[in-house]
Structure 1
Amino acid sequence: MYKELNATLRTIMTPGPVEVDPRVLRAMCTPILGQFDPAFTTLMNETMEMIRRVFQTENQWAFPIDGTSRAGIEAVLASLIEPGDLVFVPIYGRFGHLLVEIAQRYGAKVATIETEWGSVFEPQVVIDEIKRVKPKIVAMVHGETSTGCMQPLKEIGAACRAQDVLFVVDAVATLGGTEVKVDEWKIDAAIGGAQKCLSVPSGMAPITFNARVEKILLQRKKIERGLADPATYDAEQDRLIRTNYFDLSQLMDYWSPVRLNHHTEATSMLYALREGLRLVLEEGLEERFARHKLHEAALTAGIKAMGLNLYGDSAAKLPVVTAISIPDGIDGEAVRAMLLNDFEIEIASSFGPLKGKIWRIGSMGYSCRQKNILHVLSALEAVLYRHHAKISLGDAVQAALDVYHKKN
């Protein structure tokens, strides 16, 4: 017989998933409602309004895609890209390559530029390339968790709008942990992640898009419904949105008073997302961003006091992910295993050219609190000492406490 589920309680300090706020877990135990029950559609409407506020936008369209963050990215790109469209992706880590792969699968021609992992682009470099290649869409990652870096977007968004180019942003790692100003940065479509700074289980991806995107979606919907000019209809068949589940033109009807029966809503996940968003707004956006910066400062102070080196350009550091260079002669995976097995702490390795070269510690959402920062610093020091690393003993936690006590 299978035993009752009894998952081990971990301290999760990865760049996602993170620890889920207990209030979110309680919300998930709320009784199920029918998806067209007025009580439930009221919750849907409240969730949309909260998504707008967290994205800092006045967009009409702001709702979650059922699925992981990648589902949200795919829904936006699949619904915008027509075969042969030129999509420009500046790549500075693993998830830029993901944008390329998704765009290509939906028939786009993709242009890229790359910079060394651990750095970001000077905005003018991206802007110059936009002017040169003249894409329909610029797709870019805001916070690259694979490298712990964050790309400035304001100037790039302004340039896209001036060139009449759509600007699509992967804000999966940053939404709810640092500023994401959709309207001010002239972002046309943005995708967030539930399982990172919002401290909700993975399974929903909040998105928002503006009227520029809506115009394209409505035109493609006309073709889908046979309402386009009959003389051009056959030639326009290739313009059909090539997905049903991720078709934003249908999901707009689902999330509007039309209430198109597109799919059965993931009821308990909506409860979770609504509560996660409510907690963000209850704390206050500025207060929440300041909290993430405080714990980042304590963590980085402790890492440096231990004698370890941070990886990447410090000026481009992502506030909610700290990348650490693994000391020479140290088996990074053995350290991670000991942290997990002896201290119940999970931190992350990395991908591609950084695999085996850095650790990544996430300080996101509910995981981003003093207890966890002090715990991970003391445990990492103990494990590194056990592995004969040349570190400064006893200084890491004291350095972090100095940050906290100075704040107080």
Structure 2
Amino acid sequence: MTRKILMHVGPETIDYDILLGGIKGDVGFTSKEFVDAMSFSLKFLRKLMGVGESYQPFIIPGGGTSAMESVTSLLRKGDKVLVVSNGVFGNRWIDIFSRYPVNVKALKAKAGYYVKPEEIEEEVKKDHYTMVTMTHVETSTGVREPIAEVTKRIRDYVDLIVVDGVASVGGEEVRAEDWKIDVFLTASQKAIGTPPGAGLLVLSENATKRLGEDNIAGYYLNLKNWIGVMQSMEKGKASYFSTLPVHLILMIKKAFELIETEGIGNRIRRHEIVSSAIRKGIEALGLEIVAKTPEAYSNTVTGVMLKKVNPNDVLSMSLTEGIEFAPGVHPDLGGKYFRIGHMGWVNINDVISAIAVIERVLSKLGEPINFGEGVKAVQEYLINGISISSSNIAP
């Protein structure tokens, strides 16, 4: 069987200790083992999100989209929502809110760019919005929004600020409380590095107070129905609304233990090193990155533009070479790019393998590149550009 490195945009390659942590045949949703795992995970989620005791953590079934839709629990009929979208997954907020009795307006950026903080500030000064939603890292392009700056500019003008951190939490700096963000959410399968199946989010005290009977959410994703479960579980007491993904949460607990051992700061630094090395290699090959400006580069996803060859051919041939990358999904760049996911348990040796495969595959397919320069640039960066420690090499 051919060994494979998964450098998709989620799920990522999963540490075997995490997978083994969920292989339990006799754990019920009221068992002490599960309740303890849930309690630990909820408490650690606060650390990961950079918040204190005043924020309420949730781990709910589903994924990033379920976490996104659950924020309708904070809205009432007729509320105004401003969606800040940098791509496909920013637009998902529009698709979600359009199913509910709220008024939605969107500010959109061109592919590879982000909506400027001053544009968002200008809009919220013109009209009062109950909620503004942003995407920290747009998975479709790898573009990072400067959410701390945006929040600083708009905090006094809106009731709720919500950030989709599906492709950022665990790989980017997140200080939700310091930045005065009301809701920060993510999913289990990306930079946290566990299988898909859970949405994770924290709510500020301001947001939690809005979980009233008159919210517009449905039943399953209504956080009002989940909050009692979360509060009881965190205190070590079994509770039930609907069955949680028991075995996944056991894996999340193990992942959080490994993140705690590595150190959140070390983990973010590792992601910074890996992502920078990826981009050094891509640029040395003479290829263009989808994110148009360096300040918009993310630690977790890099989109790679192609000049000549079909990206689907690149993906299929790379897979035969042992690495799985992700297709491009932004409609404005259709057939022009592919994506590299570099998050979770990725290390610097994975980078060298990825760039080497990209070089070989593109050369075989006839893409005009600077053959041999990609791996060389990565190696030079790793030798000269950073201080390599054990935490940088492997989690």
Considering the TM-score relative to the shorter chain, is it more than 0.5? yes
Secondary structure of 1:191 counterpart: strand
Moved more, 270-279 or 175-184: 270-279
C-alpha contact 2:31 2:238 (8 A) present in aligned 1: no
Task: Determine if the alignment matches structure 1 residue 323 to structure 2 residue 317.
Answer: no
Q: Note if contact 1:15-1:348 (Cα within 8 Å) is conserved in structure 2.
A: no
Q: Which residue of 2 aligns with 1:402?
A: 380
Find the counterpart in structure 2 of residue 355 from structure 1: 334
Task: State the distance in 2 between where 1:285 and 1:342 align.
Answer: 33
**8 Å contact kept, 1:142–1:151:** yes
Paired with 1:344 and 1:149, the residues of 2 have a C-alpha distance of: 23
* Whole-angstrom CA distance in 1 between matches of 2:131 and 2:74: 9
Q: TM-score, with normalisation over the residues of structure 1?
A: 0.89
* Map of 1:33 onto structure 2: 27
Distance 2:207 2:14 in 1: 33
Q: Distance in 2 between matches of 1:250 and 1:149?
A: 34
Secondary structure of the equivalent of 1:89?
strand
C-alpha separation between the residues in 2 aligned to 1:362 and 1:149?
A: 13
Deviations, residues 353-392 of structure 1 (Å, cap 9, x unaligned): 12212221111011x2122211111111111111122211
| Kept in 1: contact 2:312–2:327 (CA 8 A) | no
Verify: 1:377 aligned to 2:371, yes or no: no
Within the alignment, does 1:197 sit opposite 2:197 as a pair? no
> Could you report, residue by residue, the CA deviation over 1:274-301 in whole angstroms, capped at 9, with x for unpaired residues?
1112222211111111111111121111
Once residues 32 and 160 of structure 1 are traced to their aligned partners in structure 2, the CA distance between those partners, rounded to angstroms, is 49
Change beyond 3 A, Cα 1:240–1:186: closer
Residues paired across the two proteins, number: 380
Identical-residue share of aligned pairs (%): 26
Is the Cα contact below 8 Å between 1:55 and 1:175 reproduced in 2? yes
Alignment counterpart, residue 271 of structure 1, candidates 232, 243, 250: 250
Cα distance in 2 for partners of 1:183, 1:339 equals 41
Distance in 2, matches of 1:280 and 1:357, equals 36
Given the superposition, is the C-alpha separation of residues 96 and 347 from structure 1 closer, same or farther in structure 2, using an over 3 Å criterion? closer
What residue identity is the alignment partner of 1:248?
L
Whether 1:52 aligns to 2:46 is yes
Matches of 1:280 and 1:31, distance apart in 2: 25
Please say which structure displays the higher CA radius of gyration.
1
Deviation track 1:72-110 (CA, whole Å, cap 9, x = no partner) reads: 11112x211222211001121111110011111122110
The CA deviation string for residues 324-358 of structure 1, in whole angstroms up to 9 with x for no partner, is 1111x211111111111343433332221122122
RMSD: 1.7
Equivalent position of 1:314 in the other structure: 294
1:5-52 deviation per Cα after TM superposition (whole angstroms, max 9, x unaligned): x9x753111221211111111101134322223332222111111100
Give the SS at the match of 2:83: strand
Please say if residues 101 and 216 of structure 2, whose CA atoms lie closer than 8 Å, have aligned partners that are also in contact. Answer: no
Following superposition, which runs of at least 4 residues in structure 1 exceed 6 angstroms of deviation?
A: none
Q: Tell me, in whole angstroms, the C-alpha distance in 1 between the residues paired with 2:349 and 2:65.
A: 31
- Tell whether 2:262 aligns with 1:287: no
For residue 174 of structure 1, what is the aligned residue in structure 2?
168
- For residues 24 and 143 of structure 1, what CA distance do their matches in structure 2 show? 25
Range with bigger deviation, 343-352 or 305-314: 343-352
Q: In 1, distance between residues paired with 2:295 and 2:246?
A: 41
Q: Does 1:214 align with 2:208?
A: yes
Q: Distance between the aligned counterparts of 1:325 and 1:133, measured in 2?
A: 38
Match of 2:101 in 1: 107
Aligned to 2:119: 125
Q: Is the Cα–Cα contact under 8 Å of residues 12 and 347 in structure 1 kept in the other structure? A: no
Greater mean alpha carbon deviation, residues 172-181 or residues 390-399: 390-399
Task: Measure, in 1, the Cα distance between the counterparts of 2:141 and 2:103.
Answer: 26
Structure 2: gaps (5+ residues): 389-395
- Give 1:200 shift: 0.4
Does the aligned pair in 2 maintain the 1:143–1:151 contact within 8 Å?
yes
